Chain A
Amino acid sequence: MELDSLYQEVILDHYKHPQHKGLSPTFSAQVSHVNTSCGDEIILNIILEDDVITSLTWEGQGCSISQASVSMMTDLLTGKSLEESETIVKSFSELMASKGTSAGDPEILEDAVVFAGVSKFPGRVKCSLLGWMAFKDASIQAQAQ
């Protein structure tokens, strides 16, 4: 069933058991993003120490795809340098723009390659990118501090 390529087990697992959810009391930057078409919301806290992302925490509400994507992203980017994070974000953005033609690079994206299935559903690409757009914004703001 086509739907199963969208709702893969690892996605629904992150949705049911979100990682890094609950905002840190302190942060280098805090951003709030919404998906204007469906009302999904996310607040993301980033702590940056010597260009290393030492903490990414979030609060939000939304569909399984947007919530699982944020959860997986925070897992993936915590502990990475800003430079590494740029490579990962770029790779994820390319995957989501691939319309199902790319399998994603597991070396870079690890579990997040399951979002290859989501890229076949144009209506859900924005859901997947909500947290990642918030991260881009937060990292720029944190660097400007």
Chain B
Amino acid sequence: MTFSSKIVRKDFPIFERTIREGKRLVYLDSGATSQKPLSVIEAESNFYKFNNAAVHRGAHQLAEEATDAYEGAREIVAQFLGSPGGADEIIFTKSATESLNLLAYAMSNAPVGNRFALTSADRIVVTEMEHHANLIPWQQLSARSGAELAWFKVTPESRLDLSNINEVITANTKVVSVTHQSNVLGTINPLDAIVARAHEVGAVVILDACQSAPHMKIDVKELGVDFLAFSGHKALGPTGIGVLWGHMNLLDELPPFLFGGSMIETVTMTSATWAPVPQKFEAGVPNMAQAVGLGAALNYLTNLGMDNVHNHETVLAGYILERMLEIPDIRIVGPTDTHMRGATVSFTIKDIHPHDIGQYLDSQGVAVRTGHHCAWPLAKCMNVPATTRASLYVYNDEDDCDALVAAILGAQKYFGRF
């Protein structure tokens, strides 16, 4: 099927409404959260209407149906990521933030002798372009364990500086956690050298795929990483559902983080043993309707074809960059070509604060995000207090890019009159 964002758009009820007194909604904030197609909204609400029951528990038909729907969603996620160990390697969390915290806290629980037990003799590696969700959990693990935190720097060209890879990923490195695509710069990070070096020293590689899994074909075997996290709501799915994938042998060795119902094998008054993966990491009644909604979202994306999605966004990125570079006094904070780059474009305009740009854009129906985008150290490194960010997705087209450019020019005129 040929990809058409005009047709895709018809599947998203939100585009039937207007913004700020009848203006067309130009939604350019998918990096924060994506809009939802009707099939996802219906999958979530149909679960509540027809199948709602606590999974893995009740002795009744509804519980069976709910369990089938929930485990069916796990199967869809496994297919989507190319999980070599199938659905058992997929853990549902409430968010990608929780997935990453789960890893960091589970490592804290690792006893001496476990490969995940960190001490002051060890090192954790991140990058300077991490979202706070893939920085602070590791800062805190570093503080708890005494392990040293080190990071790859970002070049003025908005790329990871891997020139000193052997000095950053040292022989004592146990964990390397990196973002696949920067939520600010749009930069897609090359992983081959990082994965090779990390594995050479026996470290595990964790990939924050929040900004990549919704936008490109992901195959965890090809990427070579050991763990991967992404969130449902940025991938056309509901909020309240995130994914953690990991290799089974590693998930087996990793201790649990949250304790309670569903994650146990046996319990006495003084001790407990754990259920097999993935249940070991899913304490409590999970976000079932949201998992089912995520399954519908990934099916929707798969039907579009992830290669089509990626091609569409690469073409759009090229178009929007070209048009934006025509704007006087603009600075693109990120790569200005489409090589290894997604359709997320952050920018500043001379003499107009990003928040004021965002406000004017909103008055024209153009929805963007402003601020440091939960990546404060990166903003400091790029020497900008804040940026305005346009992030595009399957339902955006050239008209949306044109609307953004027109609105930025309008803002320059509006604020320039004083």
B385 and A3 within 8 A (CB)? no
Q: Is the CB of B359 within 8 A of A38?
A: no
Q: How many Å from the CB of A73 to the closest CB on chain B?
A: 18
**What sequence of 0s and 1s flags, for each residue 357-396 of chain B, a beta carbon within 8 Å of any chain A beta carbon?**
0011001000000111000100100000110000000000
Roughly how many angstroms separate A127 CA and B356 CA in the complex, as a whole number?
Answer: 11
Query: Interface with B: A47-55, A59-67, A84-92, which one?
Result: A59-67
- The CA-CA distance from A67 to B359 in the complex, in Å, is 16
In the complex, the answer to whether B370 meets A13 with C-beta atoms within 8 Å is no
CA distance A16 to B356 in the complex (A): 13
Looking at the assembled complex, report how far the CB atom of A37 sits from the nearest CB atom of chain B, in whole angstroms: 6
The answer to the question of B353 belonging to the interface, with a C-beta cut-off of 8 Å to chain A, is: yes
B359→A1 contact, CB < 8 A:
no
Asked if residues A38 and B355 are in contact (CB atoms below 8 Å), the reply is yes
* A76 close to chain B: CB less than 8 A: no
Q: Does B50 contact A (CB under 8 A)?
A: no
In the complex, the answer to whether A39 meets B379 with C-beta atoms within 8 Å is yes
Q: B369 → chain A, closest Cβ, in Å? A: 10
CA distance in complex: A141, B355 (Å): 31
Partner of B363, one of A2, A62, A123: A2
- CB contacts under 8 Å to B, within A20-66, are 37-41, 61-65
By the criterion CB–CB under 8 Å, are B415 and A12 in contact? yes
Residues 8-19 of chain A, each 1 if its beta carbon lies under 8 Å from chain B, else 0: 010011001000
Count A-side interface residues using an 8 Å CB cutoff: 23
* Contact, CB under 8 Å: B356 / A3: no
Size of the B side of the interface (Cβ < 8 Å), in residues, is 19
Nearest B residue to A9 via CB reads B418
B20, B353, B370, B371 interface centre (most CB from chain A within 10 Å): B353
Nearest chain A residue, comparing its CB with the CB of B355: A63
Contacts of A64 in B (CB 8 A): 353, 356, 415
Q: Which chain A positions have C-beta within 8 A of B355? A: 38, 40, 62-63, 65, 124, 127
* Closest B residue to A41 using CB positions: B385
Q: Residues of B contacting A13 with CB < 8 Å?
A: 418
- A-contacting residues of B (Cβ < 8 Å)? 20-21, 353-356, 359-360, 363, 370-372, 376, 379, 385-386, 414-415, 418
Identity of the chain A residue whose Cβ is nearest the Cβ of B370 in the assembled complex: A38
Choose among B354, B356, B371 the residue with the greatest number of A CB atoms under 10 Å from its CB: B356
Decide: A39 near B371, CB < 8 A? Known: A12-B418, A13-B418, A62-B353. Answer: yes
**Could you say which residues of chain A place their CB within 8 Å of the CB of B20?**
2
Report how far A12 CA is from B376 CA in the complex, Å: 27
Taking the nearest CB of chain B, how far is it from the CB of A122, in angstroms?
A: 12
A38–B372 contact, CB under 8 A? yes
Q: Mark A108-135, 1 if CB is under 8 A from B, else 0.
A: 0000000000000101100100000000
Beta-carbon nearest neighbor of B417 in chain A: A12
Q: Which 9 A-B pairs have the closest CB atoms?
A: A63-B355, A63-B353, A38-B371, A12-B418, A39-B372, A3-B363, A39-B386, A64-B356, A61-B385
Q: Considering the chains assembled together, what is the distance between the CA atoms of A1 and B411 in angstroms? A: 14
Return A119 CB to nearest CB of chain B, in Å. 14
Given contacts A63-B355, A64-B353, A65-B355, contact A39 B385 (CB under 8 A): yes
